[in-house]
Homo-oligomer: A and B are copies of this chain.
């Protein structure tokens, strides 16, 4: 069956020999920034679609899954998160979720490419509704440099909402980066990072656990969740910290003063359940499991 070029946008996942395609109405925008090529499409069923360097970043229709799962589990795992750093996250969807937590007092978002945010403001305004919240500071700067320069203990939670670990995102998956995050967080701080597909990218996942532990985090834990528009439709985020990552402020979660579409306390617990093949792979690849 041929998917013709005019009516479909396809992302090929080379490592899995699979592709996911959207029926599109039109290309709304395309530009090459100093960092990457950004495209915006109007799809038939997923609302608007943002693509960076050929890879699907998000759609209007299903980004809530990813953004909620990147923000809320880590914030309810931390005892009292106030100061949050987001590395990447230029579409501002994660920022929007983080700012739903009334006890968060400060969010620094550091994305290298201001154009992602400006285009998100235009095409995904619902994700940018909190950009002018007085607690939010949007910095368009190099995240690697930011974590190298920031003061020790200056954040409670770091959220790495990055592109895939190929190209510019690659340095965000290294032990050195995690070591800087560890320094910025202090003893009680928590890191969370999108960690690709649990079934397509198992080697990457175990590599992340290893690097995070090598960087000084005692505990790591992966959260699983569906994300139809990413390769395999099944995605993950991995937390790192020095306390128990399996428990969370369940009562606060149950009485949260904001709405979510996917996340709730049962989903939080469920996301931590590890399939046998993932657990086995992690055990085989981590010394201190």
Beta-carbon contacts of A164-186 to B below 8 Å, as 1s and 0s? 00000000000000000000000
Residues of B within 8 Å of A234, CB to CB, are 226, 228, 233-234
A7–chain B nearest beta-carbon distance, Å: 10
Residues on the B chain within 8 Å of A262, using CB: 275-277
Partner of A199 from the list B226, B260, B267, B274 (CB cut-off 8 Å) is: B226
Contact B4 A18 (CB under 8 A): no
Contact A4 B2 (CB under 8 A): yes
Q: Mark A1-21, 1 if CB is under 8 A from B, else 0.
A: 111110011111001111111
The smallest beta-carbon distance between A130 and chain B, in angstroms, is: 20
Number of interface residues of A (CB under 8 A): 53
Q: How far in angstroms is the closest Cβ of chain B from A245?
A: 15
Residues of B within 8 A of A276 (CB): 259-264, 267
Beta-carbon nearest neighbor of A267 in chain B: B273
**How far is it, in angstroms, between the C-alpha of A108 and the C-alpha of B262 when the chains are bound?**
38
Most chain B CB within a 10 A radius of its CB, from A1, A5, A263, A274? A1
Interface presence of A22 (CB below 8 A): yes
Determine the distance from Cα of A10 to Cα of B198 in the docked complex, in whole angstroms: 23
A23 at the B interface (CB under 8 A): yes
- Do A22 and B12 form a contact, CB below 8 Å, given A264-B276, A274-B266, A275-B261? no
Stretch from A40-48, A91-99, A118-126, A208-216 contacting the other chain: A40-48
Contact status B1-A16, CB under 8 Å: no
CB-nearest residue of chain B relative to A224?
A: B226
Contacts A261-B277, A262-B277 known; A44 to B17 CB distance under 8 Å? Answer: yes
Find chain B residues with CB under 8 A from A279 CB. 264
Residues of B contacting A5 in the complex (Cβ-Cβ under 8 angstroms): 1-2
A-B contact pairs, 8 of them (CB 8 A): A19-B19, A19-B23, A62-B199, A199-B226, A199-B228, A224-B226, A264-B276, A267-B274
